[in-house]
Amino acid sequence: MPLVTTKQLLLDAQAGQYAVGAFNVENMEMVQAVVTAAEELHSPVIIQTTPSTVQYADLAYFYANAKVAAERATVPVAMHLDHGSSFELAMKALRTGYTSIMIDGSHVSFEENIAVTKAVVDACHPSDVPVEAELGKVGGKEDDLDGGEGGGYTIPSEAVEFVERTGIDSLAVAIGTAHGVYKGTPKLDVERLSEIREVVSIPLVLHGTSGVPDEAVKECVKRGICKVNYATDLRIAFSKGVNEILAENPDTIDPKKYNACGRKRVKEYVMSKMQVVGSVGKA
């Protein structure tokens, strides 16, 4: 089916008390793995790319891969710009055909975040493309995203004002997760999440979930998270698959051989996380 937006996917998840997995991709094989996993588990799914990923190969390349995969699938697939770093990049993704846009103004002041977010919302909504934004600061470092040590937790009262003034469709909250690889087990402020859920009606998003224990993710979904982002662990899975083949036969020269193993490992990982977020059978 054609690519869909994240709007109804997340509203359905909110109503059904599950979440939709959003998986960052870096190449064609990872796109194939994510969509194949969704097909086999009859799950809705979100494919997403970060600014550094699209800088590597351009928005159009990744959009084309996702478009073809979605058209061949029988489950809903959305294409999302993750951590859009500027109004200009958000508009380029919109013009390219992305069906969901995130603008990340979490690194500027509250008022500046509102201003840039509202500008993106005003530009995207006439085309019925939903917008995600972030309030608070998810720590860690991944690609060109540097959240430092984190600690900028989302304040519930600010979340209410932010949502009202911007008109966003979903909100990424900072409750203790971080981008990249964790040095220890993250401690999530789930009570804060519940407080935000009580005062904010739109779907909530959890970033920096690679490495977070599955039980903790399930608890966040139970408390209102509707979209769960996974990135780092997909890269790890793909790289492990490639390295398996090269370790067995260092003279392998056909990229299809080791890429296929990487694709297999990503698919296995994605299927396991669809089980965790509760989206299996929801397509």
CB 235 within 8 A of CB 26: yes
Rounded CA-CA distance 184/84 in Å is 28
In the sheet that holds 139-142, the strands lie side by side as 145-146, 139-142, 178-179
How many residues are recorded in the chain?
283
Looking at the DSSP bridge assignments, the partners of residue 131 are 101
Q: Please say whether the beta carbons of 283 and 35 come within 8 A.
A: no
Write out the binding residues for dihydroxyacetone phosphate.
180, 208-210, 229-232
* Residue whose token pair is 């396991």: 272
| Separation of first and last alpha carbons in the chain | 12
Catalytic residues: 82
Using CA atoms, how far apart are residues 49 and 231, in angstroms rounded to an integer? 9
Question: Which residue ranges make up the annotated binding site?
Answer: 83, 104, 134, 179-180, 207-210, 229-232
Q: How far apart are CA 240 and CA 246, in angstroms?
A: 10
Binding-site residues for Zn(2+): 83, 104, 134, 179, 207
* Distance (Å, whole) CA 239 – CA 246: 11
In the chain, beta strands by DSSP E:
20-24, 45-49, 77-84, 100-103, 131-135, 139-142, 145-146, 170-173, 178-179, 204-206, 225-230
Instruction: State the sign of the Cα–Cα–Cα–Cα dihedral 62, 68, 71, 72.
Output: negative
